């Protein structure tokens, strides 16, 4: 629990209560009560305020796209800890089809420079990505992300020669497919799974906890498949609002593969079989 002396340095008056909440595997999270309204507080111990720069930039990009998400109230450092203060969204019940339409709305926003990447790097609990602007999606996704994950898995001895040999073939299949696919630099959530959307009190959907960047919109959809959080209503509503290009079913596996690599890096061998199975599926889909 946060100490009163720490809380007193927040840019809020008359804090009347603090309730710990689930904040994922990265942040401490709290509901902060005030006479006016509640707030949502994220804390990262022993980090500078710019730890939250990427999330702030993502939330502001969502706001500019008129996509419902928490509002940024304040950001700073208190006693050596980074904090991010957000508006508190009261939860309710809603329909997955509305989430699909909201994600399609997000994806219709494209980068102003028509490049792939983001103004801020991605910082996670076990992996950082530079998000350097690139002219092609393949450069950002394969060169900057997949290859970095490959190197991390080798360094942690989670991959050996056999996995590396398969990865070389998978990488080539992905590269060939992306070179033939016309990608647009859409605004992405960047970590789209079932825990990163919510329904507001009026039943409308909102997106939370972004790791935003501009990339191929199939990225978010491929990530959404990994844990089975979304039903057919979600995918049908998305497809009706913003139809996907031919061959998307096979390309979505590239992004499921990416997310499984992230989990293998973060949580270890319990994801090894899932990663290997996805590599085999990609090779089967794109066998010459």
CB atoms within 10 A of CB 207: 23
Rounded Cα distance, 82 and 131, in Å: 22
- For 220, residues 6+ apart whose C-beta sits below 8 A from its C-beta are 103, 107, 188, 189, 190, 192, 255
Of residues 81, 191, 216, 265, which has the active-site annotation?
191
Written as six digits, the tokens of 191 are 């970590």
Ranges assigned E (strand) in the chain: 17-21, 28-33, 39-44, 72-78, 81-87, 122-123, 128-129, 186-188, 197-199, 205-207, 213-215
Alpha helices in 10-130 (DSSP H): 53-64, 96-107
Rounded Cα distance, 16 and 98, in Å: 35
As a dihedral over the C-alpha atoms of residue 41, residue 45, residue 51, residue 52, rounded to 10 degrees, the angle is: -10
Active site residue 191: yes
Written as six digits, the tokens of 31 are 């509901």
Rounded Cα distance, 138 and 68, in Å: 29
Q: Report, as residue numbers or ranges, the catalytic residues.
A: 191
């Amino acid at each position: 629990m946060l100490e009163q002396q720490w809380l007193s340095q927040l840019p809020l008056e008359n804090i009347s209560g603090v309730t710990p909440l689930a904040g994922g595997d990265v942040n401490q999270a709290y509901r902060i009560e005030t006479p006016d309204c509640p707030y949502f507080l994220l804390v990262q111990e022993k980090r500078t305020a710019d730890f939250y720069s990427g999330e702030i930039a993502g939330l502001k990009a969502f706001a500019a796209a008129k996509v419902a998400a928490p509002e940024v109230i304040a950001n700073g450092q208190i006693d050596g800890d980074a904090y991010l203060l957000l508006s508190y969204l009261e939860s309710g019940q809603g329909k997955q089809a509305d989430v699909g339409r909201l994600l399609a709305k997000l994806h219709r926003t494209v980068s102003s420079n028509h490049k792939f990447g983001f103004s801020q790097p991605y910082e996670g609990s076990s992996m950082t990505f530079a998000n350097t602007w690139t002219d092609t999606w393949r450069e950002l996704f394969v060169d900057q992300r997949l290859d970095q994950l490959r190197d991390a898995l080798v360094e942690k001895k989670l991959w050996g020669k056999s996995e590396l040999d398969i990865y070389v073939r998978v990488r080539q299949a992905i590269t060939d497919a992306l070179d033939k696919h016309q990608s647009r630099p859409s605004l992405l959530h960047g970590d789209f799974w079932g825990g990163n959307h919510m329904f507001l009190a009026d039943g409308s959907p909102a997106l939370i906890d972004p790791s935003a960047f501009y990339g191929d919109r199939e990225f978010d959809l491929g990530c959404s498949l990994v844990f089975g959080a979304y039903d057919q209503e979600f995918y049908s509503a998305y497809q009706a609002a913003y139809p996907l290009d031919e061959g998307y079913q096979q390309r979505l596996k590239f992004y499921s593969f990416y997310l499984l690599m992230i989990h293998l890096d973060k949580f270890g061998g319990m994801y090894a079989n899932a990663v290997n199975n996805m590599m085999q599926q990609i090779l089967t889909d794109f066998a010459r």
